[in-house]
A = this chain, B = another copy of it.
């Protein structure tokens, strides 16, 4: 709409976003390229100008979203870099932010799509390794290791502790959101976060707690 080659970039972006939206709603097989073109506000041949295939269109859309989601989650870990004197409060905060990310519309859709099409798109595994939960766990484990060295935690096995922290967050969500169908209350999110942090601290916290 404005400068020189912005047109192409805009179109490409629009196509990727539209594609992810449609794929998320209908799944790969049921999504029509025509629908995607409509969703992107673009003609069908234009889609094929930018993407050779429906398959590569799918891959690119997935990758773009996965990258965005991972960044969002890494940002949620920020407070752990410099926790105040109240470690529990900081953990509560981080846990809550992660839960918000987990329940994010895009995030759920991405997760569902990966689960769904991992059989027909085995190479999407690389994508999971690149931008998946592993990366988050590494970052979290780093933070926990630091905190342990500083005497704020007893996370003698940071990787395990990080894994369990994530599990204590994600598990209850799965039970509560019914495959991402049901929306979850913000207050519930806080409750889940607090319960997870409480158990986490009992297991890996500095000393015994009442």
Q: Kindly identify which residue among B118, B167, B195, B198 contacts A168, using a CB–CB cutoff of 8 Å.
A: B167
Copies in the complex: 2
Residues 168 to 210 of chain A near chain B (Cβ within 8 Å):
168, 170-172, 174-175, 178-181, 195-196, 198-199, 202-204, 208
In the complex, what residues of B have CB within 8 A of residue A208's CB? Answer: 208
Contact indicator B170/A119 (Cβ below 8 Å): no
CB-CB under 8 A for A25 and B202, given A137-B175, A167-B170:
no
Kindly state whether residue A116 has any CB partner on chain B within 8 Å. yes
Decide if the interface of chain A is mainly helix, strand, loop or mixed. helix
Residues of A within 8 A of B (CB): 25-27, 29-30, 111-112, 114-120, 122, 125, 128, 133-134, 137, 160, 163-164, 166-168, 170-172, 174-175, 178-181, 195-196, 198-199, 202-204, 208
